[in-house]
Amino acid sequence: MHHDSAVGMRTAGSAASVVWPAICRFARRHEINGNVLYVLPALGVYLLFVAWPVISVVRDSFYDWDGIRPRRTFIGLGNYAELLADPIFLRSIWNNLVWGIASIAALLVLGFSMAYLLNGKLRARDAYRAALFLPVTVSGVVVAIAWGFIYHPEIGLLNSALRTVGLGKLAAVWLGDPRLALYSAIAVNVWHYTGAWVVIYLAGLQTIPNELMEAASIDGANAWQRMWRIAIPLVKPTTAALLILGAIGAVRTFEIVYILTQGGPYHASEVMALRVYNLAFMLHRAGYASALSVVLLVIAAVITVLQLRLYRGAHQGA
């Protein structure tokens, strides 16, 4: 066994020693920049696992296909026309929009506020930082399962705590009420990622010279004024970067909603990525799901371009 392995390794090494010089000679003969050759493996991986799947999805969006049988029926823009009149699809866009605005707003406020406090002179500061970052290290699937138990209407920790402190009237079916399901899932998302935003904001705050804060304090600026007039403007590039990450994350949201509510009740919490999953794997409408995926990709691209412009503007203004 070991002999065969050694022979195989020597054979592979011999093949590489022959092929690579041949490629280099070909590059020199045709005046190809040698550095390009080192990019080819990564380019091949990108084309195989990123570009080709995207091209396949775009192609499938023009077909009526169940995703199982090889037979497909070309329908042109039929799937896209159906999307425009699909109330569930329009509802999923709205849910994504609400998710993005609510999550990003909460994460910005909580992330910056906690980072600003932890950046000051505080006892056990490192312990607080570790405790805040701990949820980020846990899988989103595990977080969603745990919060599913917390939200349970009968034995869940949240309703039990409300009843214990005399606020039983506020107890609710958090994941079963169409008015609350989406916001309950958003709260879980905020809890999960606040620590990451705190750490990133801390990195931005620590670039602010202490002398600047001390000078402002000597000039009579209180803590609120130092935060509002110095800290917030100087971490504007960090805020812009976090807005990009938050917007992309909002568009890609899937596992927390899937585990907590499966998009229910009555599609009240169904987001676009979950809609794609349901169409492709539950309803066996792979062509229609591909069309929705293309729309999702375009929305993500537009958001990214807009956010990058915001990021460049923040850097120029900083």
> Is the bond preceding 265 in cis, omega lying within 30 degrees of 0?
yes
Length of the chain: 318
Counting Cβ atoms within 10 Å, is residue 304 exposed (0-12), middle (13-18) or buried (19+)? middle
CA distance 255 to 249: 12
Contact 201, 111 (CB under 8 A): yes
Angle of helix 34-46 relative to helix 2-29, nearest 10 degrees?
120
Architecture, CATH, for domain 82-317: Orthogonal Bundle (1.10)
CA distance 63 to 297: 18
- By C-alpha distance, which of 229, 233, 249 is closest to 304? 249
Most confident of 134-138, 146-150, 205-209: 146-150
- By C-alpha distance, which of 244, 293, 253 is closest to 98? 253
pLDDT per residue as tens digits for the range 169-205: 999 999 999 999 999 999 999 999 999 999 999 988 8
Confidence of residue 243 (pLDDT cuts 50, 70, 90): confident
Confidence of residue 310 (pLDDT cuts 50, 70, 90): confident
- By C-alpha distance, which of 105, 107, 307, 103 is closest to 201? 107
Confidence of residue 1 (pLDDT cuts 50, 70, 90): very low
Match 């002999």 to its residue by tokens. 3
**What is the reported pLDDT for 256?**
95
The vertex-158 CA angle with 156 and 159, nearest 5°, equals 75
Residue 166 has pLDDT above 80, yes or no: yes
The pLDDT > 70 percentage for the chain reads 86
Residue 12 has pLDDT above 50, yes or no: no
More reliable by pLDDT, 219 or 72: 72
> DSSP string spanning 46-103?
HIIIIIHHHHHHHHHTTEE--SSSS--EE-TTHHHHHHHT-HHHHHHHHHHHHHHHHH
* Alpha helices for the chain (secondary structure H): 2-29, 34-46, 52-60, 78-84, 87-118, 125-133, 140-150, 157-164, 181-205, 210-218, 223-226, 232-234, 236-251, 255-260, 272-277, 286-317
Confidence of residue 6 (pLDDT cuts 50, 70, 90): very low
Give the residues across from 74 on adjacent strands: 63
CA distances 233 to 101, 108, 115, 250, Å, are 21, 14, 15, 25
**What is the reported pLDDT for 81?**
92
CA distance 208 to 230: 9
Confidence of residue 277 (pLDDT cuts 50, 70, 90): very high
**What is the reported pLDDT for 9?**
44
This prediction has a pTM of 0.82
* Domains in the chain: boundaries: 1-32, 82-317
**What is the reported pLDDT for 3?**
47
Match 């595990």 to its residue by tokens. 142
